[in-house]
Structure formats: C-alpha cells, structure tokens
Amino acid sequence: MNSKPKQKSRLKLLHQYYSYTGFYSFVWQAVKKALPYIFGAIILVYVVNHFFNINDALIKLTEILPSQGVLSFFFVSETFLGLIPPEIFIAWAGKMSNPWGYLSILAILSYTAGLLSYHLGKMITKIPYVHNYLEVKMQKQLKNSRKWGGFLIIAGALLPLPFSISCIAAGIIKFPFKVVVLFGALRLLRFVIYGLVIFNAL
C-alpha cells in the first residue's frame, strides 16, 4: 500500500533533479545535433543497400572466412564505430558447433573493443584543433556530458546503438575509465539476451 506513493515521490524527485540540472535540455540538444548525421547515415545505407545488399554480403562473408577471420573482422568493426549489426555475427555463432562458446568470445571482443575505443577518443582530444575546440567552444557541453556520461555508456551497451561511438564519446569528454569499465560490462548482458532470442529463432 505504501510502496506506490514512495515510488512516485522518488520518480518525482528524480524528474525534478534532471529538470534543474538541465539533463533533458542536454539530451535534446545532443539528439538535435546528431539527427542530420543519423538521417544522412540512414539515407547512405539505404542507397547502398538498394544497389548492393549489405546484409547478404555480410552473411556471405561469415560463410567464406574462417572462424578466426570472422572474429577478427568483428573486433575491427566493433572498435571503429561499430556500424555493422552484431546480430549478424551472433547468428553466425548460432550455426557453429559451440554456439555459446563463440557467443562468449564475441561478447568479450565487443566489450574489449569498446574499451579500446575509449582510448581512441582520448587520443582524438590530443589533436590541437580538437583540443582547443572542446576546451573553448564546448566547455559547457562537456561539463554536462561528464555529469551524465554513465547514461551514455549504459545506453550504448544495452540499446541497439553503436557501443564504440558511446565509448569514443566517453573518451573525448574524459569520463572516468573505471566507470566505463563497470557500466560497459552491461554489453556482455546484451549479448546473452540477443543469444537467447536469436539461437531459439535459428
């Protein structure tokens, strides 16, 4: 009886905190700035896929390459932007003699690739132009980003978003690496969930 009012009050307090700290405004501004790039990427993928079936090509690639080649290709993809859907590789793992073993390797590679992407993001900030731009023109945005960097990592780890991009962003804003390691481990959970769904569908 008393649990519902308490839960509501906690949600209300959380909502007030996010409102006062500008979290909603920050997320909206970030999404608004990213929309042109997202739409551009979607249009590009659609046009390329219209003339050249990307998914079929990737599936054929997993059939042609040896297992070590597929795993290496996956690791490189997950490190640099991670635009290739991991579901294709999970489906490939489901057809192997030890599906859960290969799925475990994919999960570890994806998680490790994300941590490597974090350091790539930190390297980007060492470029003089990028460093000056971030420290001068983006100082306020960076402050907010560091405040909610954990949300960024959790979203990238669990949601169908490129985990690599989230980790690169975390590296750029110099979000604490130990927190990235902790929250990024949720990436392993996503592979388990996807494995349960995809393996049962095969």
SS3 label, residue 70: helix
CA dihedral 142, 144, 149, 150 (to 10 degrees): 170
No. of helices (H) and no. of strands (E), the chain = 12, 0
Closest CA to 78 of 105, 45, 51: 105
Sign of the torsion formed by the C-alpha atoms of 159, 163, 168 and 173:
positive
* pLDDT at 156 (0 to 100): 83
Question: Kind and range of the H or E element at 12?
Answer: helix 3-21
* pLDDT at 20 (0 to 100): 61
- 136 burial (CB, 10 Å; 0-12 / 13-18 / 19+) is exposed
Per-residue pLDDT of the chain (202 residues; tens, 9 = 90+): 555 555 556 667 655 655 665 555 655 655 565 556 556 655 665 665 556 555 566 667 777 778 898 899 999 989 987 778 888 888 888 888 899 999 999 999 999 999 999 998 888 877 776 656 556 555 555 666 666 677 778 888 888 778 888 888 888 778 889 989 999 999 999 999 988 888 876 5
| Cα 173 from chain centroid (whole Å) | 16
User: CA-CA distance, 96 to 38, in Å (whole number)?
Assistant: 34
